[in-house]
Structure 1
C-alpha cells in the first residue's frame, strides 16, 4: 500500500526519467528503482510521453487535448449555470407597453470564482448576477 503523501516531481525530472527509460536496456521497474520512484509513476510518464508524441492508440488524448477538453467542459458548465439563472429570471421580468419583456443580459467579465453577468430590466435598472464556476 502506498504512502498517504504523494511526491511531486519536476517536469525536468520526469523528462530525464522518461529519456533514461526509453534509452536504457533495463525494464521500467529497474529504472524506477534506480531513480527512487514508483514503477507505476514512471510507466505512466512514459505512456503519456508516447501519446504526446503521437504514438498512442486511437482515442488516446494528448496532454494538450486533455487540457482543452477540461477547459471546454468547465466553460460548458459555466454556460449551463448562466442559462439556468436566466431561465429563472425571465418569467419575473416586467413587460414593456408593447408586451415584450424588458430584459437585456450582458456578460461583464470573469472573476476568480466565476462569471459576472449584468441583467438590465427596463423598469428596475441593473442587477448584477454572479455565476459560480
Structure 2
C-alpha cells in the first residue's frame, strides 16, 4: 500500500527541493521519499506561492537586513566624504 503524506509535508518537501541548494536525490533520500514522487510534487506545486501564510522568521530577517542595509549605506557615505577629503589633501 502506498504511503500517504500530508499536504504540509508535500509543501515543505517542495520548498526544500527548490530552495535548499541540495540535489533532488539528496532531498528525496533525506526525507525518505522516492525521487519520482518528489519530482511529481515539485512539478505539481512549482507555480504555487510557497511563501504564503505566516512567516515570522522571514519578517524578522527582512527587518534585520533593512537595518544592516541602512548602516552600510551610512558607512558608504562617510567613506565617500573621507575619500574626497583625503584626495584634496594629497594635492
TM-score by length of 2: 0.50
Name the structure with the higher helix share: 2
Name the structure with the higher strand share: 1
The higher relative CO (CA closer than 8 Å, separation ≥ 6) is in 2
TM-score by length of 1: 0.35
